[in-house]
C-alpha cells in the first residue's frame, strides 16, 4: 500500500513538473525579453546622444548647410510674424503703383500699388503651409503603403506596387488641373491633390527598406515572441528607416512648393484674394519688361527656400546615417 502511494506521488510530481516546465520557459522568455527591452532602451539613448553629436558635427563642418538653416529659419519666422507688418497686403494705392524700393515700401509696389514686401511675406505663409501640409500627408501615406507592401509581400506587395506605378505614370500637374475643373479650389483640396501624386516616391523608399529590415534578427525575434505585425512595423521597422524618411520629407516639401508655385502661376493654385509666390509670378509676367523686380522677388524666395531644403536634406542624411561616418 505504501509503495502504491509513493508511486502515485511520484506520478503527480512528474505531471506537475511537466506542467511547470512550459510556465518556467515562458517566464524565462519574458525575463529575457525584458532584458532585451532594457538593452534596446540603453542603445537608443546612446544613439540619441550620438545623433546630437553628429548633427553638431555636420553643421559645423558644412558651413553652407548652416547658412541654409539660418536663411530657412528667417523665412519661416518672417512668415509667422507677417500679420504684424504695418502694411496691408491688399491695400491698393493706384497713385503709387509700380514704385521702386523705398523706406516705406522695401521691395516697391506692384501694378495695383500694393506693398510687394508684405505680399511676399503673406505669400510665404501660403507656400510654406502648403509645402509642410503636403509633406505630412504624403509621408504618412507613403510610409503606410510602403511598410505594409514590403512587410506583407506576395499579392499584397504586387497590388500596392501596381497602384504606385499607376500614379507615377500619370502627369501630376495635368491631372490636378483636370481635377480642379470638378472640385472647389481651396487650400485643403490643393494639399490633398499635391499629396495624391507625391506619396509614391516615399512609398518606394520605405518598401525597399522594409524588405531589408524584416529579415533582420530583431524582427525575427519579435515575431517569434508573438509580437503583432502592426507593432513590429511601428516599433521596430519604421524607427530604423527614419533617416530615409526625413530626407524624403525634406525633398517632399521642396517639391510641393515648386508644384504649388507652378499651379498658381497657371491660375490653378491658391484662390484669390490669397497670394502665394506662384500667384505673384503670374501677376508679374505681363509687367516683367517694365519692372523685373516684381518677378525677381518671389522667384528668389522660391529658389532660396527649395535650395535650402535640398541642402538641409543632404546634411541630415549625412548626420543621421552612421554608414557615412567612416
**What tens digit of pLDDT does each residue of 69-112 get?**
889 999 899 888 888 877 777 777 767 777 767 777 777 777 77
State phi, psi for 115 to the nearest 5 degrees: -70, 120
Distance CA 277, CA 296 (A): 11
Q: Is 98 left (phi over 0), alpha (psi -120 to 50) or beta?
A: left
153: left (phi over 0), alpha (psi -120 to 50) or beta: left
**In 3D, which of 118, 93, 97, 96 has the Cα closest to residue 107?**
118
Query: Is the pLDDT score of 267 beyond 90?
Result: no
The C-alpha cell of 87 is what? 502694411
pLDDT over threshold 50, residue 311: yes
- Provide the pLDDT for residue 219: 80
Indicate whether 34 pLDDT > 80: no
Per the CB < 8 A criterion, the answer to whether 142 and 197 are in contact is no
What pLDDT digit, counting tens, does each position of 124-180 carry?
888 888 899 999 999 999 999 999 988 888 888 889 999 988 888 888 888 888 888
Residues β-bridged to residue 109? 115
Q: What is the mean pLDDT of the chain?
A: 78
Say whether domain 62-324 belongs to CATH 3.90.1170.40.
no
Question: CA 163, CA 152: separation in Å to the nearest integer?
Answer: 16
Q: How confident is the model at residue 29 (pLDDT cuts 50, 70, 90)?
A: low
What is the reported pLDDT for 25? 46
Residue 133, pLDDT score: 92
Strand (E) or helix (H) holding 152: helix 116-152
User: Per-domain residue ranges for the chain?
Assistant: 62-324
Residue 169 confidence (pLDDT): 87
Q: What's the mean pLDDT in 109-117?
A: 77
Q: Quick one: cell of 108?
A: 516697391
Q: What are the Cα distances from residue 279, in Å, to 121, 127, 185, 267, 290?
A: 13, 10, 14, 7, 18
pLDDT at 120 over 80: yes
Amino acid at each position: 500500500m505504501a509503495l502504491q502511494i509513493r508511486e502515485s506521488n511520484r506520478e503527480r510530481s512528474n505531471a506537475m513538473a511537466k506542467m511547470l516546465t512550459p510556465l518556467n520557459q515562458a517566464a524565462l522568455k519574458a525575463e529575457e525579453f525584458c532584458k532585451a527591452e532594457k538593452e534596446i532602451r540603453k542603445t537608443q539613448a546612446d544613439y540619441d546622444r550620438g545623433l546630437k553629436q553628429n548633427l553638431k558635427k555636420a553643421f559645423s563642418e558644412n558651413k553652407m548647410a548652416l547658412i541654409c538653416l539660418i536663411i530657412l529659419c528667417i523665412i519661416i519666422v518672417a512668415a509667422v510674424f507677417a500679420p504684424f507688418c504695418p502694411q496691408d497686403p491688399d491695400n491698393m494705392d493706384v497713385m503709387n503703383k509700380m514704385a521702386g524700393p523705398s523706406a516705406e515700401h522695401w521691395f516697391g509696389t506692384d501694378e495695383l500699388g500694393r506693398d510687394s514686401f508684405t505680399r511676399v511675406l503673406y505669400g510665404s505663409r501660403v507656400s510654406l503651409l502648403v509645402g509642410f501640409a503636403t509633406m505630412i500627408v504624403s509621408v504618412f501615406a507613403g510610409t503606410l503603403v510602403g511598410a505594409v507592401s514590403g512587410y506583407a509581400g506576395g499579392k499584397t506587395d504586387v497590388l500596392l506596387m501596381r497602384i504606385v506605378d499607376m500614379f507615377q505614370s500619370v502627369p501630376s500637374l495635368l491631372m490636378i488641373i483636370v481635377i480642379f475643373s470638378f472640385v472647389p479650389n481651396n487650400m485643403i483640396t490643393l494639399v490633398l491633390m499635391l499629396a495624391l501624386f507625391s506619396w509614391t516616391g516615399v512609398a518606394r523608399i520605405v518598401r525597399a527598406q522594409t524588405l531589408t529590415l524584416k529579415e533582420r534578427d530583431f524582427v525575427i525575434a519579435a515575431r517569434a515572441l508573438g509580437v503583432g505585425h502592426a507593432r513590429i512595423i511601428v516599433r521596430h521597422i519604421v524607427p530604423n528607416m527614419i533617416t530615409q524618411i526625413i530626407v524624403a520629407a525634406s525633398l517632399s516639401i521642396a517639391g510641393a512648393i515648386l508644384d504649388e508655385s507652378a499651379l498658381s502661376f497657371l491660375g490653378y493654385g491658391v484662390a484669390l484674394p490669397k497670394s502665394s509666390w506662384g500667384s505673384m509670378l503670374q501677376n508679374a509676367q505681363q509687367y516683367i519688361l517694365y519692372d523685373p523686380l516684381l518677378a525677381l522677388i518671389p522667384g528668389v524666395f522660391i529658389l532660396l527656400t527649395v535650395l535650402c531644403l535640398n541642402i538641409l536634406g543632404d546634411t541630415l542624411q549625412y548626420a543621421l546615417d552612421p554608414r557615412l561616418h567612416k
